[in-house]
Amino acid sequence: MNVLLSIKPKYVSLIMRGVKKYEFRRKIFRNEIEKVYIYSTFPARRVIGFFMVEGILNDTPEEIWEKCKNESGVTDIEFFEYFRGSETAFAIKIGKVEQLREPIEIKKTSLTAPQSFCYLTQDKEEGLVNGII
C-alpha cells in the first residue's frame, strides 16, 4: 500500500528539483510505505508525481533538524514553527523522484485531497496512475 501526501507547492518544487531530500511530518504512516504520490495543494490541486521512500527517521525535532537541516529545503524558522509543541518529529527520506507526464487534477478523480495523507489501495493507485479514477 502506498500513500497520497499533501505538500505545499513551494516544497513540491524543491522536491522535484532535488533540493529537498526530506519531507517532515508530525504524524506518520502506520503501514510500511514504498511510494509517496505528491499532491500539490492550493493553488495547483494536482497529483504531480511521486517519490520512493528511502527510510523514515523518528526523533525529537531538535535531533531531526541536526540530522537533516542541510537537505531539508526549509529554514530553521519554518521547521521549528511547524514542530512547535511536538515532542516527536518524523523525516521521510526522499529517494528517486518521478514527475507524471500529465498532472492529475484531484477534482477529476474519485479521490479527495488529504489533510495530510491518505492510503491508496492497489485499485486506487492503479486508477490514479492510469488516469481512470
Q: What integer is the mean pLDDT of 51-74?
A: 97
* Residue with the larger pLDDT of the pair 70 and 129: 70
Does residue 118 carry a pLDDT above 80? yes
| pLDDT, the chain, mean | 93
Does residue 104 carry a pLDDT above 80? yes
**Residue 93: which residues within 8 A CB-CB, separation 6 or more?**
21, 22, 53, 54, 55, 56, 57
Q: Which CATH class is domain 2-119?
A: mainly beta
Q: Which of 29-33, 68-72, 105-109 has the lowest mean pLDDT?
A: 105-109
**122 dihedral zone (left: phi>0; alpha: psi -120 to 50; beta):** alpha
Q: Where are the domains of the chain?
A: 2-119
- Spatial distance between the Cα atoms of 22 and 54, rounded to a whole number of angstroms: 10
Sorting pLDDT into bands at 50, 70 and 90, what band is 77? very high
What is the length of the chain?
133
Does residue 133 carry a pLDDT above 70? no
pLDDT tens digits along 10-45 = 999 999 999 999 999 999 998 899 999 999 999 999
